[in-house]
Amino acid sequence: MLIGELATRAGTSTRTLRYYEEQGLVRAGRDANGYRQYDDAELRVVREIRSLLAAGFGIEDIRPFVACLRAGNESGHVCPDSVLVLRRKLAEVDGYLGQLTDIRHQLRAQLDEAVALRESPCRTQICPP
- Write the DSSP string, 73-101: -SSTTSSHHHHHHHHHHHHHHHHHHHHHH
Instruction: Specify the 3-state DSSP secondary structure of 58.
Output: coil
Residue 96 domain-assigned? yes
**Residue 129, in any domain of the structure:** no
Q: CA torsion sign, 80 to 86 to 92 to 95? A: negative
Number of domains in the chain: 1
CATH number of the structural domain spanning residue 90: 1.10.1660.10
Q: Indicate whether 126 belongs to any domain.
A: no
Give me the domain span that covers residue 74.
Answer: 3-119
Q: Please tell me the distance from the alpha carbon of residue 88 to that of residue 123, in angstroms, as a whole number.
A: 50
Convert the pLDDT of each residue in 46-77 to its tens digit.
999 999 999 999 999 999 999 999 999 999 99
Average per-residue pLDDT in the chain?
92
Q: What is the pLDDT of residue 121?
A: 65
Tell which residue, 16, 21, 59, has the closest CA to residue 37: 21
Q: What is the mean pLDDT of residues 18-34?
A: 94
In a domain, 94, yes or no: yes
Q: Is 12 left (phi over 0), alpha (psi -120 to 50) or beta?
A: beta
Structural domain contains residue 124? no
pLDDT tens-digit profile of 107-118? 999 999 988 887
Q: Which residues contact 54 (CB under 8 A, 6 or more apart)?
A: none
Q: Is 127 inside any structural domain?
A: no
Sign of CA dihedral 71, 27, 29, 75: positive
